[in-house]
Chain A
Amino acid sequence: MSAAPQVDDVAVLATARVRTAQLVTALLIPALQKAIGPERVLTDRAQLRTYECDGLSHFRVVPAVVVLAESRQHVVDAVRICADAGVPFVARGSGTGLSGGALPHAEGVLIVLSRLRGLGPVDADNARVVVEPGVINLWVTRDAAPYDLAYAPDPSSQLVCSIGGNVAENAGGAHCLKYGFTVNHVLGAEVVLPDGSVVHLGGPAPEHPGYDLLGAFVGSEGTLGIATKVTLRLIRVPESVQTMLVGFASVEDAAGTVSDIIAAGILPAAIEMMDALAIEAAEAAVRCGYPAGAVAVLVIELDGPEVEVEAQFLQVEQIALRRGAFETRIAADAAERALMWKGRKSAFAAVGRISPDYYVQDGVIPRTKLPEVLSEITRLAGAVGLRVANVFHAGDGNLHPLVLFDDAVPGQADDASALAGAILDLCITSGGSITGEHGVGHEKRDKMAAQFTAEDLDTMQLVRCAFDPAGIANPGKVFPTPRLCGERPGPRRGEHPLSQAGLAEVF
């Protein structure tokens, strides 16, 4: 590398970059149209604006081009054209992400995968299914249901979010307390690398010789390539599912109940908590009938063999009562269970009923620190005169504070943003994480340096440089600063004989 550029050089470079961008666009669009078909290449600004943001709508960038891929070959062609031109690409599924992970690049190509919707057939005896990335999360469980199977990861957006996006973000959900995250349920992926080549990582068998690149790929937020096929592991639908709604007069009692359940050696399928403000919002939106006057509610779900669930359910109820629960309500049937979950799963949107604007945060703390962290959040909010509604996966300490504000009041949006940031700092100092399931994306990349050292981040970027030395796959996401990968290190080598003899994984 040469010395740092001077100020004049920067101006010259900036101008050159704009010219290059224009030139690239002029060459890129015809190439994409020729390879993928003009009807699948959007260039009209009005159409492009449809894709200017994902679920995190306060960041907006209009992409230079949108490609609506309908096959793996379309993805390969689009990526290869980008690679040849040195132009960035961003993959997008349903666009429900909450960290700006699918925020387009102004000079890049947005590759939309929602038309890749091949699903199955379900291999019931092996409890596996192969899907394309545009398949909606809930469809997998729908198709598996006739075999008494289900797909475990259940993000609240599961009606609309896609498997490709779930893989990119390592999506969680309410039931990951017991069942784990997307990464624990993805066995294999066909991946288009940022140079346009295709590799198969993992597969339907449980072990594969070599590095677990699949484990690194899941949750890499579109920075390592694009999955065009995913092999999912399915779970057997449990014999019994029991859900309980418990009302408490204090957050401490609710948090204490969570700790006592864990200490009793019980692993519920889910333990969700909502505070008074979140309850108020949910009631206003979906009239879920949560206990009146509750300062906190827990939704606790146990699943498994019937005798086990019944015995542990009684135990959980007793624990809650000992912690001062003033109401425990047990879902008598699937409809009542659905209503209990409706209140919880609609909580984000419901907050719109009690506040003109809100900011959804996602952070993680050690479960045992819930009471002190919640009271500190209340203190931080009070100091700037804002309200925070708390909804969280209490079992695994994953907080979703909703910072309420009014954009019409000058300065309040900035205060809300600052408060949301302060909550993340609190998560870090408590020994937690800046994101439990929404991802770093565009939104939190600057916070990465607070959670990790420069050495930690540089080491992660070694993986990125191996997959994407040119840095064109979703640049500007996850990492606070881009890293120039330089030449491929190590002595030059011919292809290893084992590489040529290698058998492709069977999908």
Chain B
Amino acid sequence: MSTATLHRRPGGPADAVSGMIPGQVVRPSSIAEVADVLRAAAADGLTVVPVGGGTKTTWAAPPTSCDLLLDTTGLDRVVEHVAGDLVVVAQAGVPLADLQAHLAGAGQWLGLDPPERGATLGGVVSANACGPRRLRYGTARDLLIGTTVVLADGTVASSGGKVVKNVAGYDLGKLYTGAHGSLGVVVSSTWRLHPVPPARRVVVLDLPDAAAAGPLAVRLCRSTLTPSAVELFAIAGGAGQLVVVFESIEASVAAQATSTVTLLGGGTQSSDLPPAFGQRPGSAGDVLLRLAYVPTALPDVLASLPAGAAVAASAATGVAYAAVAAEVAVAALPGLRSTLAPYDGSAVVLRAPDAVRDRLDHWGPVGDALELMGRVKDRFDPDRRMSPGRFVGGL
């Protein structure tokens, strides 16, 4: 099918990316069609923003232009799952949940648990989305073993491969992870899988002062316990709930949960996760931030957030999601970033209501590699047509 016949429809408000309504929307259904679309866009000088399930379109800065929205949900094939090798190859538009359902049949899963319902693999890679179990499995960069990307000029290029251990050539999957489509369109990805653990035990400890979670998390990390997740749900300046999750064979999770209660000096055991587990905090009217810092900074991070902010922190890894009332966030963000700086910290805006979006510096300081990042962008997308303005430093 040539691009001339690939249907493009006009964009509407439902297609908006951080408030920007695209001129046209195209939904290719093969990698070759994506290449055709991008070659044609290059010829016409069109700006292109790729989108998958559309669950994280606010996670990057608003695009400065979007002539063409490239909907990847038509790339919906699980290409290959070799259970014996614990490897799967799937196209970008495959919803993560569908992939997990597919893998569950073989007792396997992809160790990523971002909560956004309807998120596709391409979107998870491009936004570097993850959830509580990053403590055990790492993030997309740790599990992605191969990628195929279509560049701005229509070039189709792969890196990595289908084996977990592989050091041939540059690992470009790392570069595309979290790049928000600014280097090209991720059309296929290959992943390292893990077995689904047969049993789970959860320890929940209520804390009158959420900041107490800091030293407890350190104690857990320095013990021989192997939790899949250590999550803190808290209100800044108030109480919190520490949730420690064990997933392994029954004998192991039972023994570890009991040890955890002793180690923490309290807590109740159950086999169910609390309803809020893994969810992003707050509501659509809030500004949602992703904070990152060295793990022991957790109490200071909680103290630096505006009182009342809802927090879901991966307490043992140094990542927290915080929902702050919109106007409060506008005023507080610069100070928050200054507080985080000594902890190698960052605060990135993941979602902001329309009313305040333009008054927020989405990414914050980037460090001394920003100029080099600009050079990488210029090599991959010399005309700066791919998701323009969405990434750090206006890239």
Q: What is A's interface to B at a CB cutoff of 8 Å?
A: 123-128, 147-148, 169-170, 172, 176, 180-181, 183-184, 188, 193, 198-201, 203-216, 218-220, 236-239, 259, 262-263, 265-267, 304-305, 307-308, 311-312, 364-368, 393, 396-398, 431-440, 444, 448, 451-453, 455-460, 462-467, 478, 488-490, 493, 495-496, 498-499, 501-506
Contacts and interface: CB of A to CB of B under 8 A. Distances in A.
B377 to A, nearest CB: 8
A451 B166 CA distance: 11
Contacts of A490: 378, 382-384
Given A457-B169, A459-B151, A466-B379, A210 B366 contact: yes
Ranked nearest first, the 4 interchain pairs of A and B with the lowest CB-CB distance are A215-B174, A265-B195, A239-B224, A459-B157
A221 to B, nearest CB: 8
Contacts of A262: 84, 86
Interface in B256-299: 256, 290, 292-296
Contacts of A498: 363, 365-366, 370, 392-394
B169 A440 contact: yes
A495 B372 CA distance: 11
A467 B357 CA distance: 34
A503 B161 contact: no
Interface in B289-328: 290, 292-296, 317-319
Nearest to A149: B222
Interface of B: 82-87, 107, 128, 138, 141-142, 149, 151, 155-159, 161-175, 177-179, 183, 194-198, 218, 221-226, 248-249, 251-252, 255-256, 290, 292-296, 317-319, 341-346, 348, 363-380, 382-384, 391-394
A8 B187 CA distance: 47
Contact of B174 (A123, A212, A433): A212
Listed residue (A207, A263, A307, A440) with the most chain B CB atoms within 10 angstroms of its CB: A207
Contacts of A127: 221
Nearest to A498: B393
B214 to A, nearest CB: 10
Nearest to A171: B167
Contacts of A207: 128, 290, 292, 319, 346, 348
11 contacts: A125-B296, A205-B294, A206-B317, A207-B292, A305-B225, A433-B167, A440-B169, A448-B168, A459-B159, A488-B375, A504-B368
B100 to A, nearest CB: 16
Given A206-B318, A216-B171, A438-B167, 18 more contacts: A170-B171, A207-B292, A211-B178, A220-B170, A238-B226, A259-B84, A265-B197, A432-B166, A433-B166, A453-B157, A455-B155, A462-B379, A462-B380, A465-B379, A489-B379, A499-B393, A502-B366, A502-B370
A448 B391 CA distance: 32
A212 B178 contact: yes
Given A213-B175, A396-B163, A205 B293 contact: yes
Contacts of B294: 123, 126, 128, 204-205
Listed residue (A307, A455, A459, A504) with the most chain B CB atoms within 10 angstroms of its CB: A459
A125 B222 contact: yes
Contact of A431 (B163, B172, B218, B293): B163
B296 A126 contact: yes
B226 A305 contact: yes
Contact of B175 (A123, A211, A431, A434): A211
Given A205-B294, A209-B348, A219 B372 contact: no
Contact of B374 (A124, A176, A458, A496): A496
Contacts of A237: 224
B333 to A, nearest CB: 13
Contact of B368 (A199, A216, A396): A199
Contacts of B222: 124-125, 147-148, 236
A207 B5 CA distance: 42
Contacts of B341: 503, 506
B355 to A, nearest CB: 23
B394 to A, nearest CB: 6
Given A433-B168, A452-B158, A496 B393 contact: yes
A438 B174 CA distance: 20
Contact of A396 (B164, B343, B344): B164
B194 A267 contact: yes
B166 A125 contact: no
B221 A236 contact: yes
B365 A501 contact: yes
A446 B178 CA distance: 32
Contacts of B172: 216, 459-460, 463
B112 to A, nearest CB: 15
B346 A170 contact: no
A312 B370 contact: no
Contacts of B161: 431-433, 451
Given A212-B174, A498-B370, A436 B169 contact: no
A212 B292 contact: no
Contact of A212 (B141, B158, B372): B141
B170 A460 contact: yes
Contact of B249 (A211, A312, A393): A312
Contact of B373 (A128, A213, A219, A452): A213
B65 to A, nearest CB: 15
Contact of B155 (A170, A199, A364, A459): A459
Contacts of B370: 210, 496, 498-499, 502
A238 B222 CA distance: 10
A193 B343 CA distance: 25
A100 to B, nearest CB: 14
Contacts of A212: 141, 174-175, 177-178
A243 B295 CA distance: 33
B224 A236 contact: yes
A448 B166 CA distance: 12
A466 B376 contact: yes
A456 B162 contact: no
Contacts of A436: 163, 165-167
B174 A504 contact: no
Given A125-B296, A208-B346, A435-B166, A453 B158 contact: yes
Given A199-B368, A305-B252, A396-B163, A265 B198 contact: yes
Listed residue (B128, B142, B346) with the most chain A CB atoms within 10 angstroms of its CB: B346
A495 B171 CA distance: 28
B257 to A, nearest CB: 11
